[in-house]
Amino acid sequence: MISFWIACAVLLIVALPFIVWPLWRGAGSGNAGNNNEVQRDAANLDILRDQSAELEADLRNGLLTQDAYEQGKRELQTRLLEEVNVTERPTVSTRRSAKGLAIMLAILLPIFSVPLYLTLGNTNALLPQQDSGMAGGFGIIRSEAKLQELEEKLAKEPQNPDGWFVLARSYSELQRYPDATRAYGKLVELVPNEAQLWANYADVYAMSHNQSLLGEPTRLIDRALELDGNNTMALALAGSAAMERGDYAAAITHWTKLSNLLPPDNQELPMISNGIQEASKFLEMQKGGKGKLAKLSADKALEKAAGKPAAIGGMVSLSSKLAGKAAPTNTVFVFARDAHDKKLLLAVLRKQVKDLPLQFTFDDSMALNPQAKLSGSSQIVVFARISKSGEPIVQSGDLQGATGIIKPGDMGLNIVIDSVVP
């Protein structure tokens, strides 16, 4: 820090002459300029006197008429007013004010520069910076040694919420979810009325328990929404939890409220909109289930009479090379869609990884939309996806597999989930 102040003093000494000297010199040069103007005016007066004398001589010698003489005199008088500065100049006042300003700046700049820096500057930046093991400027500790040091500190000071917050966020960033869950559990005890902490707690709890939001994570989400019904993270998680338990109406409610809270340019809006659409389709399927069962016999009879097979089916299995990347309770979706219109979803089946390998069959009775049945599409694609989030919307890290293009009536399909969504 001493070196810093020495450098500041040197810079100030170097800068002062560049500020003060032009003002001081300007005062003197202004006086010199006034003297030059006086000399110039005197020379102009001599010239005008000579020209006036010449006019009078020409008039006496008869070289000029009286009218020409009068006109010449008027022109000389006009030039006199234009070329000779007859106004009084405050030379002494200008010199004094410029010199006074130079002296004032020379005194005040050094006096006020230090208090000004101490008021507006950051004196902590002058202190030696210790290696905190933090990265990104958000209090995330990545150093194992520093994490252990913070753990030991919190063991001695368990009532330190700031320390628990840094620890919880650091473990979450490092994907050490059980440790993050423990830290957030302690944090919400110390700070029980912060909705965001409860939402974070629910998120890491789910990640450490097979990525499922059912059970305890749902209770934590509900607590967050009790404290702040507009907490965006809690609303997003609440919608996902509702989808996971099959409460599609609640999912639509939570995600619709979330979309209304976010700004129009938010990058998450398209994904939320897709989630609402998917939940709406599932809800329609759920609501129409009883009516479809009642009409099933008639529909099958019509299909049989028309000789138009509509059912497709086969087996879904998980590749052995990806078996370690999925938890038994992860959600498995099997979708059938029109090969020419990727937005036209024809049928959906929802299971869990523990059900694999599973046998599936789709027919017109499982259509999500009465106007979009399997029998109405000439070419179909069936794909299966393991969703880590439990949502039907594809996300990075999900596992998937698909058939090629098939047609209604194809049975014995074999879908192997063998790729990871980038």
Give pLDDT tens digits for 361-405: 888 777 767 667 777 788 889 989 999 888 878 888 899 998 888
- Greater confidence (14 vs 198) lies with 198
Measured CA to CA in angstroms, residue 138 lies from 149, 165, 166, 342 at distances of: 18, 11, 9, 41
The predicted pLDDT at position 284 comes to 81
Compute φ and ψ for 143, nearest 5 degrees.
Answer: -80, 125
Residue with structure tokens 């939402």? 199
Whether a cis peptide bond, with omega within 30° of 0, leads into 22 is no
Asked if 353 and 329 count as a contact pair (C-beta separation under 8 A), the reply is yes
Give pLDDT tens digits for 39-73: 666 666 677 677 777 777 777 777 667 777 777 77
Which region among 215-219, 225-229, 288-292, 307-311 has the lowest average model confidence (pLDDT)? 288-292
Give pLDDT tens digits for 177-227: 999 999 999 999 999 999 999 999 999 998 888 778 888 999 999 999 999
Angle between helical axes of 269-287 and 232-244 (0-180°, round to 10) = 30
Confidence band for 37, pLDDT divided at 50, 70 and 90: low
Confidence band for 139, pLDDT divided at 50, 70 and 90: low
**Residue 87 DSSP code:** S
Token pair belonging to 143: 């150093």
Task: Return the H-helix or E-strand segment holding 126.
Answer: none
Complete DSSP assignment for 364-398: GGG-SBTTB-GGG-SSEEEEEEEESSS-SS--TT-
Tell if the pTM clears 0.85, that is, is over it: no
Compute φ and ψ for 421, nearest 5 degrees.
Answer: -70, 125
Interatomic CA distance for residues 373 and 363, integer angstroms: 8
- Greater confidence (77 vs 261) lies with 261
Interatomic CA distance for residues 261 and 167, integer angstroms: 30
